[in-house]
């Protein structure tokens, strides 16, 4: 279908407005992170200012962000890896054996308000003296990652034809062998999608770390609040901190755009 010239012009203008609305705030945030607090308060310096790296010095050195970046990375990697180990075989079974009720139980985790789990978790884990440690954080983030991975992988396995596995069985592989040597290698794109999304969700997660992390295990979203005082806010430092948290994930997103889109829209077009 050919679009008319009038429509194309309208589309160009409308989409330019959309792009500006989505990107301008992010540019503003990054710009502010390179300004002194004096310049942030001065509206004549909105776009033209002398950039400074002082805010990043504050964030990375005084505020100990190098450690928090490490914490966030470790928790996100561990939660994703463990969730993949548990979730991929489970999704396979649920897809192949049509275990709708079991799948529903796992997917419940996407619906339950996280707060309702935090009180019991806090009680149990503080009795085990685990609150403030990494293990609890990783477990709590798996609560987000696992249902996501099962959901994405179930859709992926549903889409793989059975014939390949059946042929492998005829050739003398056991069912588990067929899963390991035929299905799993074919599922790498799906696993990448699930893993990337799980990593992003864990990196961005705030509420669980707010309650369950300690001073040494703080993740980045919790550490952002270090720049918000009761009386005043160090805007330059705060914007540098938010840039440190968001920029890496946005840059990664550019490279794996296709996977993120397919993960976020997984199952959306099924009947």
Partner 1 sequence: MPAVTAPSRAPRGASVMPDTPGWARWANDHRKWLFAAPAMAFVAALIIFPLAWTVYLSLTDSSGSVRAESEFIGFRNYLDVLSDTDRFWPAVGRTAAFTGVALFFEVVLGMAIALLLWRPFRGEKWVRVAILLPLVATPVAVGMMWRLIFDPNIGLANQALGWIGIGPQPWLAGQHTALPTTIFIDIWQWTPMVVLILLAGLTSLSDEPQEAAMIDGASAWQRFRHVTLPLLMPTVIVAVLLRGIDALKTFDILYATKGRGGGSFNEVETLNVYAYGLSFDYNEYGLSSTVLILFFLIIIGVMWALTARKKEAGR
Residue closer to partner 1 by CB (options 188, 254) is 254
Q: What is the CA 146 to chain-centroid distance, rounded?
A: 12
> Which part of the chain contacts partner 1 (CB under 8 A), choosing from 54-62, 63-71, 187-195, 205-213?
205-213
Count of C-beta atoms within a 10 Å radius of residue 159: 10
* The only residue of 9, 18, 66, 167 in contact with partner 1, by rule CB under 8 A: 18
| Nearest to 155, CA basis, from 65, 31, 265 | 265
* The only residue of 28, 53, 61, 164 in contact with partner 1, by rule CB under 8 A: 28
Cα dihedral 266→84→173→103 (10° resolution):
-60
**Would you state the structure tokens that stand for residue 177, as one six-digit string?**
């062998």
Does 207 bind partner 1 (CB under 8 A)? Our answer is yes
String marking each residue 136-175 x if it binds partner 1 according to CB under 8 A: ---x--xx--xx--x-------x---x---x--x--x-xx
String marking each residue 76-105 x if it binds partner 1 according to CB under 8 A: ----------xx-xx-xxx-xxxx--x--x
* The only residue of 8, 9, 135, 181 in contact with partner 1, by rule CB under 8 A: 8
Beta bridge partners of 233: 228
* The only residue of 155, 221, 240, 259 in contact with partner 1, by rule CB under 8 A: 221
For partner 1 (CB under 8 A), the number of binding residues is 97
Does 59 bind partner 1 (CB under 8 A)? Our answer is no
Does 204 bind partner 1 (CB under 8 A)? Our answer is yes
Does 240 bind partner 1 (CB under 8 A)? Our answer is no
Least gap, CB of 245 to partner 1 (angstroms): 5
- Cα–Cα distances (Å) from 109 to 45, 101, 220, in that order, read 47, 14, 24
Q: What is the rounded distance in angstroms from the CA atom of residue 58 to the CA atom of residue 241? A: 9
67 Cβ neighbours under 8 A, 6+ residues apart? 216
Alpha helices in the chain (DSSP H): 5-33, 37-41, 54-57, 65-96, 100-107, 115-127, 134-159, 163-170, 175-178, 184-186, 188-204, 207-212, 220-223, 235-255, 257-264
Least gap, CB of 239 to partner 1 (angstroms): 6
Residue closer to partner 1 by CB (options 4, 50) is 4
> Which part of the chain contacts partner 1 (CB under 8 A), choosing from 16-24, 56-64, 73-81, 186-194?
16-24
Does 188 bind partner 1 (CB under 8 A)? Our answer is no
Does 118 bind partner 1 (CB under 8 A)? Our answer is yes
259 touches 196 (CB < 8 A): yes
Does 128 bind partner 1 (CB under 8 A)? Our answer is no
């Amino acid at each position: 279908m050919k679009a008319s010239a009038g429509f194309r012009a309208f589309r160009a203008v409308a989409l330019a407005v959309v792009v500006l609305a989505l990107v301008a705030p992010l540019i503003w945030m990054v710009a502010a992170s390179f300004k002194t607090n004096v310049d942030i308060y001065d509206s004549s310096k909105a776009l033209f200012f002398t950039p400074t790296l002082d805010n990043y010095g504050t964030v990375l050195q005084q505020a100990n962000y190098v450690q928090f970046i490490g914490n966030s990375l470790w928790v996100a990697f561990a939660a994703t890896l463990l969730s993949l180990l548990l979730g991929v075989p489970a999704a396979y079974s649920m897809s192949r054996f049509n275990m709708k009720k079991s799948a529903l139980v796992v997917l419940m985790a996407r619906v339950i308000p996280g707060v309702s789990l935090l009180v019991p978790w806090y009680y149990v884990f503080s009795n085990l003296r685990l609150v403030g440690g990494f293990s609890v954080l990783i477990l709590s983030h798996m609560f987000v990652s696992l249902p996501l991975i099962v959901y994405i992988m179930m859709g992926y396995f549903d889409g793989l034809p059975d014939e390949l596995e059946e042929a492998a069985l005829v050739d003398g592989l056991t069912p588990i062998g067929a899963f390991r040597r035929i299905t799993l290698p074919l599922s790498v794109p799906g696993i990448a999608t699930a893993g990337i999304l799980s990593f992003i969700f864990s990196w961005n997660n705030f509420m669980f770390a707010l309650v369950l992390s300690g001073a040494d295990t703080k993740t980045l979203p919790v550490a952002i609040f270090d720049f918000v005082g009761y009386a005043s806010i160090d805007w330059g430092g705060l914007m540098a901190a938010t840039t440190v948290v968001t920029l890496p994930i946005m840059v990664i997103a550019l490279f794996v755009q296709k996977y993120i889109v397919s993960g976020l829209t997984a199952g959306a077009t099924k009947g």
